[in-house]
Structure 1
Amino acid sequence: MPSATPVLEDVHKILERYADNPSAFLALNARTEYFTAEGIDGCVAYRTAGRYLVQFAGPFAADRDRPALLAAFRKHAASRRKKVLAIQLQESDTELYATGGFTVNQMGASYAIDLSRFTLRGSKFVRLRNKISKAGRSGLVVTEDDPLAVDAELTELDRDWLRGKGRFAKELTFMVGERTGEVAPLRRLFVGRIDGAVIGYISYSPVYGTRPGWLHDLTRRRREAPPGVMEAINSHAITALSEDGAGWLHLGFTPFTALDPAHEPPGASPMVARIVRFLAEHGEKVYPSATQVAYKEKWDPHAVLPEYLAFEGRPSLGAILRLMHLANAI
C-alpha cells in the first residue's frame, strides 16, 4: 500500500540521502507526483501520461530497498490500470529493470566535468578561450543573482528566447529544469549583462551521490547576444563553483547521443534502438541534440555516462510518442 504523499522538503531530503543520478534534482519540478511505500525510506518520482506512469530516474532509496520500492510502484500502477515507463535511468539501474521484466534501451548520454582536473589552459581550448574573451570585449558582465530578485527580467528574456525558436516552437518540460518554484533558492543562477541589460543566464541545480556537484541546467540567451556569451557565463560559474568546493559540473543529459551497441543491455528492443538511432540522425526538430553535444564537448568532459529508458513489458511506438508529448517535444 502506498503511504501518504510526501511534501517537497521530504522528497529533497530523500534525494540528498540516496540519489545517484546527476539529473535527480529535476524530480522536484512542478507537477511531478511521488509514490512512497510503507516501511521504505524512499520515493518514486513520476508523471501520469495516458496509459502510463512515466517514472523519472530510478527509485530513490537505499540499494537494499530499491527492488521492493520498484515492485510496490508497479503494483500501484497496475491498480490504476497503467504501465510504467521509466526514463533517464543510469547504467547501474539497468539490471534492476531488466531482471524485473522491463525492456531497457539506451536513450542518450549525460556529460560531466571533474572540476578538480579542469583547466582552460592548453591548445585544445584556444577557440573556447577566444570566444570567452570576445564576449568580455563586448562589455559582458557576469554576476551570481538571487532568482527571485531578477525574475521579471528573466521572464522577459525567456519570451524573447522562445520567439527566436520559431512560430511553432514549444518549451521542453519534464526532463529539463525550472527557474522558479519552491526549490528555486536551492539553485545557483549566473546572469550575463551588457550595458546593464540581461543578455543570457544559466541556472545550476545541486547534484548528489558519487559525483556530487552541480548540474548545468536551464540556459537562455537573447537572439542578439554576441558569440561566446554562454561560454563566458559558464566559465565564470565554474570558477565560482570550484572555489566553493564543488567536485563535478554535470553538463546534463542529451537524448539520442553517444549511442553504442555495447551500451545496450541484454534483451534491448531492436525496434526502440532503430527509433532512437533515427532520431539521432533526423530528429533536430524534436530536440537539438547536435547543438547540445557540440556545446558540451567544447569543455572536454571527463565522463560520458549512458542513460536509458525502460518499458514495462514490450515497448510500443505509442509509449514513445506519449513520452515525447509529455516532454512537450511534439
Structure 2
Amino acid sequence: MTQQCETNKEKDRAQQWLRVRDILRKYSENSLAYLSLEPDKQWFFAEGFDGVASYAISGHTMVICGDPICPEAHFSEFLAQLRRFAAAHRYRIVFLMTMATHLDAYRSAGFGCHKSGEEAVFDVQTWSMAGGKCAKVRSSWHTAVHKGLAVKEYRPWDKRDPEVERQFIEISDQWLQGKHTARLQFAVGSLMLDQPCDKRYFYAVDTDGVIQGFNVLNPYRCGKAWIIDIMRRREGCPHGVMELLFHDIMAKLKQEGAEQASLGAAPFYRTADHPHADLSERAEHYVYTHMNYMYGFESLQQAKAKYNPDWQNIYIVCRPKHLSLWMEEAAFAVLDSHGFRDYVQAFLEMRRVEKAEKKKARRDKRQKRKE
C-alpha cells in the first residue's frame, strides 16, 4: 500500500510538472521563472485561470522564487489567492528577486517592497564587444580564439553523450570545492540532464577535446529571452573561456531573433544607493561590502559588469510589509543547500581569517621595526 501511494505521488508530481512547464511556455516574464521546474520547488496553482508560483517552506515562511507566473490581467487576483492560502496556513510570504514591473500591484495588495540588488540584462540585437567598455572582454575572447578553443551546443534531448556529461559534472564538482559555502539552490538551477525542460547547454572545448567551460541557459518571455543560469569553468582553464562562451552564445541568440539575455542577479548591489533606503536594504549593503569571503557578491557583480549590461532593479517582496529577521533566515535557509547554519559557519570562518591576517600584519610590523 505504501509503495502504491508513493507511485501515485510520483505520477501526480509528473503531471503537475508538465502543467507548470506549459504555463511557463506561455507566461514566463521573470528570468527565474524556469527554476519552477527544479526538484526543490513546491507549486501553488491559481484557481480559475493559468497561474503558478513556485515556493519552499522554511519554518512559518513561504519563500517564493521570482514573481507569480500568470496572465498579466490576473496578476492581482493571483496575489489575493496567495494571501488567502498563506493566511489559512499562518505563513509569512517572501518573494525573492521580483521585477520592478509589478511593484504597484504588490503594494496595492499590502506587501512591502525592498530592493535586493540588480540584474544584468542585455539587448541581444544591439549588444557588441566593440568600444572601450568591453575592451577586456574582447581581449580575453581573442586569447581563447587564438588558443584554438571552440564553442559547441550540447543537445541531450536529441542524443545523450556520456563523456560530455561526465565532464560537465567533473567541472561542477571542482567549482563547488572552491566555494566557502555549499551549493546555492532555489534561485540557481541545476544541470537536469535527465529532464532538460527547454534548457540549452553550450560548452567550450580545446583542440584535445577537453571541455574547458560550459554555460546552461533557461528561457523566459516565451523563448524570446534567455538567462545564462549556470557558468562553470575547469580549474586551470585557458584565459578567456567564459568570454568566448558569452560572445558565441550572444551571436547565436541574435541570429535566432532573441530579444533579451540575462547574466542574472548581482545580489545586494546598490541596495542603499537611494535616499529612502530602509534598515534591511542598508543591512544588505553591509553584507555586499563586508562579507565577500562568504560568497563574493562584489566580485560577482564585477564579473557581470565587464560585459557592459543594462542594470535593472530587483526586489524582495514580503508580507508582513517589514522584512523581519525570521523572513531573512527563511530566505537564506532555502537558498543554501546546507541551510542557514552554513552562512553562520562561513561568517565565523571569515572572522577567524580576518583575525589571523591582522595578527600577522602586526607581527610583520613589529619585525620591520626591529630591523
SS at match of 1:58: coil
Answer yes or no: is the 8 Å Cα contact 1:54–1:84 preserved in 2: yes
Partner residue, 2:202: 190
Partner residue, 1:89: 98
Deviation at 1:213, TM superposition (A): 1.6
Answer yes or no: is the 8 Å Cα contact 2:27–2:69 preserved in 1: yes
Q: Deviations over 1:130-165 (max 9, x none)?
A: 111112233322211124422222111111111233
Partner residue, 1:203: 216
Q: Which amino acid in structure 1 is aligned with residue 282 of structure 2?
A: R
Q: What is the identity percentage for the equivalent residue pairs of Structure 1 and Structure 2?
A: 25
Structure 2 CA distance for aligned equivalents of residues 286 and 311 of structure 1: 25
Q: Residues 263 and 231 of structure 1: is their aligned pair in 2 closer, same or farther, counting only changes over 3 Å?
A: farther
Q: Which amino acid in structure 2 is aligned with residue 258 of structure 1?
A: R
Answer yes or no: is the 8 Å Cα contact 2:143–2:240 preserved in 1: yes
Deviation at 1:85, TM superposition (A): 1.0
Are positions 1:47 and 2:56 aligned together?
yes
Of stretches 61-70 and 253-262 in structure 1, the one that deviates more from structure 2 is 253-262
Are positions 1:173 and 2:185 aligned together?
yes
Deviation at 1:208, TM superposition (A): 0.7
Are positions 1:223 and 2:249 aligned together?
no
Q: Residues 58 and 263 of structure 1: is their aligned pair in 2 closer, same or farther, counting only changes over 3 Å?
A: farther
SS at match of 2:69: strand
Structure 2 CA distance for aligned equivalents of residues 181 and 125 of structure 1: 33
Partner residue, 2:87: 78
Partner residue, 1:105: 114
Q: Which amino acid in structure 1 is aligned with residue 232 of structure 2?
A: R
Answer yes or no: is the 8 Å Cα contact 1:135–1:232 preserved in 2: yes
Answer yes or no: is the 8 Å Cα contact 1:158–1:220 preserved in 2: yes
Q: Which amino acid in structure 1 is aligned with residue 214 of structure 2?
A: Y
SS at match of 1:299: coil
Structure 2 CA distance for aligned equivalents of residues 293 and 215 of structure 1: 16
Deviation at 1:272, TM superposition (A): 0.9
Deviation at 1:261, TM superposition (A): 4.7
Partner residue, 1:253: 265
Length-normalised TM-score, structure 2: 0.80
Structure 2 CA distance for aligned equivalents of residues 58 and 159 of structure 1: 31
Answer yes or no: is the 8 Å Cα contact 2:36–2:54 preserved in 1: yes
Spell out the pairing of 1:149-160 with structure 2 (5 A cutoff).
149=161, 150-160=164-174
Deviation at 1:182, TM superposition (A): 6.0
Q: Residues 87 and 93 of structure 1: is their aligned pair in 2 closer, same or farther, counting only changes over 3 Å?
A: same
Give the counterpart of 1:287 among 289, 295, 303: 295
Are positions 1:34 and 2:43 aligned together?
yes
Answer yes or no: is the 8 Å Cα contact 1:109–1:257 preserved in 2: yes
Q: Residues 31 and 123 of structure 1: is their aligned pair in 2 closer, same or farther, counting only changes over 3 Å?
A: closer
Q: Residues 179 and 304 of structure 1: is their aligned pair in 2 closer, same or farther, counting only changes over 3 Å?
A: same
Deviation at 1:263, TM superposition (A): 9.2
Partner residue, 1:306: 313
Answer yes or no: is the 8 Å Cα contact 1:202–1:220 preserved in 2: yes
Structure 2 CA distance for aligned equivalents of residues 239 and 260 of structure 1: 35
CA radius of gyration, larger in? 2
Structure 1 CA distance for aligned equivalents of residues 281 and 333 of structure 2: 19
Q: Residues 170 and 250 of structure 1: is their aligned pair in 2 closer, same or farther, counting only changes over 3 Å?
A: same
Answer yes or no: is the 8 Å Cα contact 1:28–1:183 preserved in 2: no
Structure 1 CA distance for aligned equivalents of residues 304 and 275 of structure 2: 20
Are positions 1:316 and 2:324 aligned together?
yes
Give the counterpart of 2:279 among 271, 279, 290: 271
Q: Which amino acid in structure 1 is aligned with residue 37 of structure 2?
A: L
Q: Which amino acid in structure 2 is aligned with residue 158 of structure 1?
A: S
Structure 2 spans left out of the alignment, 5+ residues: 1-11, 337-341, 344-371
The CA RMSD over aligned residues, in Å, is 2.2
Structure 1 spans left out of the alignment, 5+ residues: none
Answer yes or no: is the 8 Å Cα contact 2:227–2:262 preserved in 1: yes
Q: Residues 196 and 91 of structure 1: is their aligned pair in 2 closer, same or farther, counting only changes over 3 Å?
A: same
Deviation at 1:185, TM superposition (A): 4.7
Going by fraction, where is helix more abundant, 1 or 2?
A: 2
Deviation at 1:78, TM superposition (A): 2.2
Count of residue pairs the alignment pairs up: 319
Large movers: runs of 4+ above 4 Å:
260-264
Q: Deviations over 1:246-274 (max 9, x none)?
A: 1211111121113355496xxx7x22122
Partner residue, 2:144: 135
Give the counterpart of 2:29 among 20, 24, 48: 20
Q: Residues 182 and 156 of structure 1: is their aligned pair in 2 closer, same or farther, counting only changes over 3 Å?
A: closer
